[in-house]
Amino acid sequence: MPIKFFLHEDEIPRQWYNIAADMPTPMQPPLHPGTGQPVGPQDLAPVFPMNLIEQEVSQERWIDIPDEVLDKLLLWRPTPLYRAEKLEKFLNCPVKIYYKNEGVSPAGSHKPNTAIPQVYYNKVFGIKRIATETGAGQWGSALSFACNQFGLEAKVYMVRVSYEQKPYRRLMMNTWGGTCIPSPSTETEAGRKILAMDPNSPGSLGIAISEAVEDAVTSEAMGRPPTRYSLGSVLNHVMLHQTIIGLEAQKQLAMAGDYPDIVIGCAGGGSNFAGCAFPFIRDKIAGKKIDIIAVEPASCPTMTKGVFTYDFGDTVQMTPLLPMHTLGHSFVPEPIHAGGLRYHGMAPLVSQLVLDGLIEPRAVRQLETFAAGVTWARTEGFISAPETCHALAAVFQEAQKAKEEGREKTILVNWSGHGLVDLAAYDAYFQGKLFDYELPQEAIQEALKALDGFPKPALG
């Protein structure tokens, strides 16, 4: 029995799956931050190109992947599906474990799956330059790679503390020709304001988003090439682009003659989780019995301890209000090492599916995630990104549970990226410098006060 399942290039999915067409509860619309009314496409036009806005609100179940996008995705896709046979032997539980290896992309994670189409649609719309923010750098490097492939400029505002402490992903951006500057910067009004208050500001994702959005919407007036903003998670079209993961996995599992009882992914903004899980949730809605688990850090428990309500995507209240699970837009997570999971909100699509009982959210603690990552490296060989280690921790929990229940289970986990440029986090773990942090209930109550007075979405 093989342990790796490859699809031929001509077997790559040619359409993305849009779960909006199958949602048991219709999605609530985003609201305009000024008027409180649903935002229309024109409200978003200064920020995103219209073809992506159309995708954001589409109700079509299947959306064609353009040939120009497929051509670029083929640089690393279809990605292999692996059977984690060596881990199975080590765990000695009645489980079969499959993982989808998204670490084989040039940027080392699932992020290019949406960076490539986003840049393509911008290019088609006549855009020459894209501004974005990045935390640890996964998204900024993926967008720089994609912009380079299509000949667009990339401008990345990187949270200053990460810019200084994590030079490797910045260097990846440079290698692909992207421009990366620390945020807050002196190049935007928002950045200058923050620096005036605190010249040593370490920055935050919220500030960086504000800078990137401002960069995009002021570019015309500033005489820069036509520019739009791009976001690497949370939004509907991002989830859509990532579904290629799960669609490939379904074909590969069929090759293996298998189907999962449990699908697991880590969730920060939700995109790698959604990408793998949504095609299986379609099966679940159609009656298939399957557990879908979204794993978040106990230090940033958006789905398990946050509330479902309208909130801003950024800290400084520039974005539309989105209906989602949130800890409040002013929430600042503890500096755990899984930078990609430190976000106050959750994708509206994922949030609604949690409400509808189709997704089980689960919070795991930091030390458990690194323990899982080390065991993974010492069995399967590959070193996992700290974000991915959260999903692995849940795999171990489910394997143990299967043993206790004496039931055979098949698990699919989305291995969202490798950890080769995150090794300092493993070092801190080995040196005993990491600790478990569970967000206290009082801190959550305090953070949620920022939401007082905002509209509340109706509960499914």
User: Where do contacts with its own copies occur on this chain (CB under 8 A)?
Assistant: 2-4, 6, 8-10, 74-76, 86, 104, 106, 108, 145, 148-149, 167-168, 171-172, 174-177, 374, 377-378, 380-383, 420-421, 423-424, 426-427, 430
Closest by Cα among 58, 57, 98, 67 to 248: 98
What b/e readout covers 80-115, taking b as 16+ CB neighbours within 10 angstroms? bbbbbeebbeebebebbbbbbbbbbbbbbbbbbbbb
Instruction: Give the separation between CA 396 and CA 371, rounded to whole angstroms.
Output: 10
- Least distance CB 361 / its own copies (angstroms): 29
Shortest distance in whole angstroms from residue 76 CB to its own copies: 7
Name the strand (E) or helix (H) holding 295. Answer: strand 291-297
Measured from the CB atom, the residue of 86 and 401 that comes closer to its own copies is 86
- Name which of 12 and 290 has its Cβ closer to its own copies: 12
The least CB distance from residue 2 to its own copies, in Å, is: 4
Alpha helices (H) in 40-111, listed in sequence order? 41-44, 50-57, 67-73, 85-91
Specify the residue, 214 or 380, whose C-beta has the smaller distance to its own copies. Answer: 380
Nearer to its own copies, 134 or 236 (CB): 134
Please report where in the chains the tokens 């380079």 appear, as a residue: 148
CA dihedral over 277, 282, 284, 285, signed as positive or negative: positive
Q: Minimal CA–CA distance to 224: which of 232, 236, 212, 233? A: 212
- Direct distance between the N- and C-terminal alpha carbons of the chain, in angstroms, rounded to an integer: 44
Nearest distance, CB of residue 177 and its own copies, angstroms: 6
Q: Tell me the angle at which helices 386-405 and 366-377 cross, rounded to the nearest 10 degrees.
A: 90
Q: Is 404 exposed, middle or buried (0-12, 13-18, 19+ CB in 10 A)?
A: exposed
- Cα Rg of the chain, angstroms: 21
Instruction: With beta carbons less than 8 A apart as the criterion, state whether 333 and 300 touch.
Output: yes
Q: Contact 74/125 with Cβ under 8 angstroms?
A: no
Name the residue nearer to its own copies (CB basis): 82 or 278: 82
Please tell me the distance from the alpha carbon of residue 189 to that of residue 183, in angstroms, as a whole number.
Answer: 12
Of 75 and 443, nearer to its own copies (C-beta) is 75
The minimum distance between CB 124 and its own copies, in angstroms, equals: 19
Report the b/e string of 287-317 with b at 16+ CB within 10 A: eeebbbbbbbbbbbbbbbbbebbbbbbbbbe
Which CB, 306 or 373, lies closer to its own copies?
A: 373
- Closer of 2 and 455 to its own copies (Cβ): 2
CA dihedral 217, 218, 220, 224 (to 10 degrees): -110
Q: 130 phi and psi, to 5 degrees?
A: -125, 135
Tell me the pairing of strands 409-415 and 95-101.
parallel
Q: Give whichever of 129 and 329 is closer to its own copies, judged by the CB atom.
A: 129
Q: Do residues 131 and 158 make contact, with C-beta atoms less than 8 angstroms apart?
A: no
- Give the DSSP H/E element, type plus range, for residue 291: strand 291-297
User: For its own copies, which is the closer residue by CB, 2 or 335?
Assistant: 2
Q: Indicate the residue among 169 and 342 with the shorter CB distance to its own copies.
A: 169
